[in-house]
Amino acid sequence: MSITPPNIILHAADVHKNFGGLRALSDIDLQVEEGKTHAIIGPNGAGKSTLLNVIIGRIPPSSGAVIFDGTVLTGKAPYEINQLGISRVFQTPEIFPDLPVLHNVMAPAFARRDGAFRVNMLRSVGSEHEIREEAEAILDDIGLHGRREHHAGSLSRGDKRRLELAMCLIQRPRLLLLDEPTAGMSRHDTNTTIELLRKIKSSGMTKVIIEHDMHVVFSLADRISVLAQGRIIASGLPQEIKEDPRVQEAYLGGGVE
Ligand SMILES: Nc1ncnc2c1ncn2[C@@H]1O[C@H](COP(=O)(O)OP(=O)(O)O)[C@@H](O)[C@H]1O
Ligand SMILES: [Mg+2]
């Protein structure tokens, strides 16, 4: 197994995943540098969501390991991995539809204060008043403050995804994983989300983002890894990836995702 360099906060080392006879992931070595935004792109069916699910503990790898800040995640339950400071925005938003938007954002902060996040508490969290203020500030950032009293279930698909992002942000994760955060959004909403993700970027939070929208990828990513048929065929700076003939070739066969 390869050695993890010190500035690497997340390392998927020699990860393989088979679904029966299908090799969904082979020889994966993904290294994510602390504080960076690392994008994973690749054609449909390349294994991107599988890799994310392996990282968050939803799918056990067939072999290999995932290491986060020196801790081996492999074998831990998803909630334990979340407690270590890893949050994921799902492809399908997981919200409380019958609660007001504001309360949806406050709920994970209470969980953090009251114990669910105690393993890696990044700071002490105070009163309900403070949590409400923080939730309102995040809602303001994502452009949902005006709808804070609406039931979350009444939001549009794009707004639900932003709400879920807000629910992750209030947890102040060290690593945020995003699976196609702008899927189903209008161009305007996509741009608002890019702006928000830029703000998060300057906060120093490490992000892994799966994205099919090249505009989003090239506006945000510090590094890009390209998955094709379960293998990482290229990893590098955005400019290097753009010019890589292997990447262009991989995209000629399947559609660009
Ligand atoms: N739970 C599963 N059982 C069997 N095959 C799966 C499962 N999840 C994904 N696959 C297969 O693994 C491959 C990679 O899928 P996925 O990770 O969803 O790709 P991507 O997110 O890049 O589109 C696909 O061929 C898909 O059909
Ligand atoms: Mg996917």
Q: Where are the alpha helices (DSSP H) in the chain?
A: 48-55, 78-83, 101-113, 128-141, 157-169, 187-202, 214-220, 238-243, 245-253
Pairing between β-strand 223-228 and β-strand 37-41 as defined by DSSP bridges: parallel
Domains observed in the chain? 1-85+174-257 (3.40.50.300), 98-172 (no CATH)
Q: Which residues, judged by CB distance below 6 Å to any ligand atom, belong to the binding site of ligand 1?
A: 19, 22, 24, 42, 44-50
The ligand 1 atom at the shortest distance from the C-alpha of residue 210 is 21
Ligand nearest to the CA of 18: 1
pLDDT at 114: 57
Terminal Cα distance for the chain, rounded: 30
Q: Whose CA is nearest to atom 3 of ligand 1?
A: 19
- Give exposure, 143-166, as e/b (b: 16+ Cβ within 10 Å): ebeebbeebbeebeebbbbbbbbb
CA 59 → CA 12, 78, 137, distances in Å?
Answer: 13, 9, 34
Q: Whose CA is nearest to atom 23 of ligand 1?
A: 45
What is the rounded average pLDDT of the residues 67-78?
Answer: 95
What is the rounded average pLDDT of the residues 57-80?
Answer: 95
User: Could you tell me the two tokens for 200?
Assistant: 């998060």
Ligand nearest to the CA of 53: 1
CA distance 233 to 63: 19
Q: Whose CA is nearest to atom 1 of ligand 1?
A: 19
CA distance 30 to 225: 8
pLDDT band at 122 (very low <50, low <70, confident <90, very high): very low
CA distance 160 to 154: 9
Displacement of CA 60 from its chain's centroid (Å): 18
pLDDT at 93: 60
In sequence order, what are the residues at sequence separation of 6 or more whose Cβ sits closer than 8 angstroms to the Cβ of residue 249?
none
Ligand nearest to the CA of 42: 1
Task: Round the CA-based radius of gyration of the chain to a whole number and report it.
Answer: 18
Q: In sequence order, what are the beta bridge partners of 139?
A: none
Pocket test for ligand 1, best of 15, 18, 22, 251 (most atoms within 8 A of CB): 22
pLDDT band at 250 (very low <50, low <70, confident <90, very high): confident
Q: What mean pLDDT, rounded, does the chain reach?
A: 86
pLDDT at 120: 37
